[in-house]
Structure 1
Amino acid sequence: MASTATSSYVVRAGEPARDREATLAVWRGNLGRNERMAAKYDWFYLRCPHGQPLLQLLCATDTGAPVGTATAGRRRLHWQGSALRAGVLVDLAVLPEHRSLGPALMLQQGLMDSAADEALDVLYGFPNPKAGPVFKRIGYRQPFTLCRYARVLRHAGYMRTHLPRWLATPAGWIADVAMACLDAWHALRGPRLRAHWSDEVDPRVDALWEASPKGDDVVAVRDAAHLRWRFDDSPLATTHYLLLERARDRMLDAWFAVQAADNMLHVCDFWSADGARGMAAHHIAALLRAAHRQGHASVSVEIRASDAQLRGWRACGFRPRGYRPVFLRWTRADSPAASAAWFLTSADEDE
């Protein structure tokens, strides 16, 4: 690919193995703790099973030294029986003395050119709202948002922010009992399930993924190979799996990949035998009971999905708590999938 240049900078394609130290030098002090970023690089850039990321380096023309980076990590998508190749936008960093609109645009243009050269079908990302105008300027669309939903399990602490302390405890207890009854009702309406925790992905998720309906939305492939790399191999967070088996035959019926933070349990990803039709309320009720037994005060999840996929979460008391924009740019504007809706969770980011 030809380099893109201005009077001060040139953007060139990087090689993850060769340019590790140069990339980390740009990240240092810009993207988080140095030791954490080094571990993330080795995992995300050097061990991704879907292929090496598309790394772009912004170099100062006077010294040739990298002063900025931008990357698209590879992801496999499924849409109406077809495989799509995607890149998730990550790790945009520019040294403070070089930060302006021009360098950021150059890096993003470099990624778009690289995606075309590598035959990626689509680039997508979750930039902060302030970066929205930049992405729109270079041809990205924002067709939807990622919504964070939350459900309180232990209401006393929540009530103390709204009620006098003497009233918060009994009011919280009443709310806890009412929601526990709702969860029990949903559990009784479904098949008998056995729930247990695992520290690593269960190989049965492959059969579950293959057999489940995928619907008409664009969805990332959720097989064992991907989950093992995305969660088990990640040095950035500890992930556990709640596995739900049908009691009658021990077949895997659903799974949740979760991470604990303080008193909250965050659902990073999930899938079930119902697939695109939605995670059933009895599956979510089993998750809530398991989270409560572990002492968590709340459960959260981030989702971009159809109303059918959200129905079970809403029925179990999950309510919106915030939104983040999702930006897309298809390599071919006339792609048949360009107008399709997407199913996304926070696992579809880089960490």
Structure 2
Amino acid sequence: MLYTLYEAGFYVAAPLRAAARVTRQYWSSPLNPARETPVGRRLFASADLFANLTRRYGRPDWGIESVRISGVDVRVRRVEAWSSPWVKLTHFVRDPLDLRRAGRTAAAPAVLIVAPLSGHYATLLRDTVRTFLQDHEVFITDWSNARDVPVLEGRFDFHDYLDHVREMLRRLGPRCHVVAVCQPGPAVLSAAALMAEDGDEGRPASMTFMGSPLDARFSPTVTNKLAEERPFAWFKSNMISTVPLPFAGAGRRVYPGFVQLYSFMSMNMERHQDAHWRYLQDLMNGDGDSAEKHLEFYDEYLSVLDLTEEFYLQTVDIVFQQHLLPKGELT
């Protein structure tokens, strides 16, 4: 019901959003002699802010066309190395001729960056990708939005996530390095442990964990504390909704991205309100550079994806409530 109401609100606001876009175009047109007047700037800024706040934010673009190595601009293209309905393993392929001009002739080590599946897209890590491209063959997990995966594709839970990580490491071959950013830490460590136990040649050469909740009992964040304060049944009753039509995953039970976004923003609501107020002031004052930086940040921040019910609830249970991995009880 919550998801349906959210979508209904989006469509109800469509006429106002269209009017705001027309107003924005009118007061930004070079043919409008009054566009630089205080009234014109105020109307343009107000319309632009409303249009941006009420529009739908899709999957952001990576925007990585090249990377500078040893003073040479090396072209980069994205290749799908492997995929399932739930993830695309994306390889950022560096142009071999450009690499030769940069003096890089030896084969670079491969690194798998496991992006978090916690509400935002993997593009949040584009700067991390750019940094690793200096010296590595970079692969990253680009997770799917659960609302776009048909119900016929089945479930996707914590253990499926672990299996996906294991399969990707195996396909990248021996001596691949793995970097787990935030949420995927427990699953990556578990996958590597299973691969080591099996003597799997695809087990990683090294593991790096960045801000991962390997043991959520230590240095608890606001998220950790919420998971401890609320019973498991509360999350199932209050945080899960059903994907409505016309999405491909209609009927799937999910933890909606917009709920996660509201949770993020509510922790720093005054900060976000101040940021939008400054953006409005920048537009009215003609400060295009500051306004552009605001848009770049929020175009990424407001782009969210849904998680499957089973993955979200199992993560809450296994990682943040029972702490099964650090206690040696995860099966």
Q: TM-score, normalized by length of structure 1?
A: 0.22
Q: TM-score, normalized by length of structure 2?
A: 0.23
